[in-house]
Amino acid sequence: MSLKTWTLFALLASVPAIASASTARQTESITPSTHYSASVPRDRQIQLALSAAPPEVASKATVYILGAKGYEKAREGSNGFSCIVERTFRGTVQTSVGPMCFDAEGSRTLLQVHFFTEEMRAQGKSEEQIKADIASGYKDGRFKAPGKPGICYMLSSENYLYNPETKQSGPFPGHLMFYAPYMTAKDLGYAAVTGSMQPYLVEPGQPDAMLVVVPAP
């Protein structure tokens, strides 16, 4: 699973514009054109990963940063949460940068898929190959969907995500993601998932489906 956060851009139609000039300046440092990678300084990677969660959570979370072979543990935590900076690609072009902080259940399940994704990228595997291997991994039991409700914080002011409709990347407001494995629009009482609805369902019907809520500014 690469995080399907680029689909969250559909939510922008229903979310008031909240990006300030200072947020825009911050985001400039992590745009995909700068190729967020293991070359980003360690302290910057840690700071960006921790920006995903509330301070009381981030202060005790385990932190992983990108290294030459994938994610590496930069700090051991004590509260079961794990913070990373996730990135997505379309082909070979980096399209998003998303600081994330998973709770214990997400760390046990979904985070393992993120680890695998970056390991495969480091080995030169294509995004299509990685996606296919992850799908197989869920089927054969190598990867598991969350087994109980939980949360992934994405509250950073430096989220930079891809909009498939405009084919452009840009800032996206901080938000909360709740595990909803295999949930569909029907389960929510929706005729279909559209950008005007909250909670918004990411990856409906898939093991990594999540409900997304953008807090009021």
Q: Which residues contact 203 (CB under 8 A, 6 or more apart)?
A: 4, 7, 209, 210
Domain boundaries, the chain: 5-179
DSSP 198: S
Burial per residue of 79-104, b for 16 or more beta-carbon CB atoms within 10 angstroms, e otherwise: ebbbbbbbbbbeeeebbbbbbbbbbe
Based on the number of CB atoms within 10 Å of its own CB, is 51 exposed (0-12), middle (13-18) or buried (19 or more)? buried
> pLDDT at position 7, please?
43
Q: d(Cα 55, Cα 49) in Å, to the nearest integer?
A: 12
Let me know: does 188 contact 144? Beta carbons within 8 Å: no
Provide the pLDDT for residue 193. Answer: 82
What pLDDT, on a 0 to 100 scale, did the predictor assign at position 91?
86
Provide the β-strand partners of residue 168.
Answer: 163
Residues in the chain, pLDDT under 70 = 1-35, 163-165, 195-196
**SS3 assignment, position 86:** strand
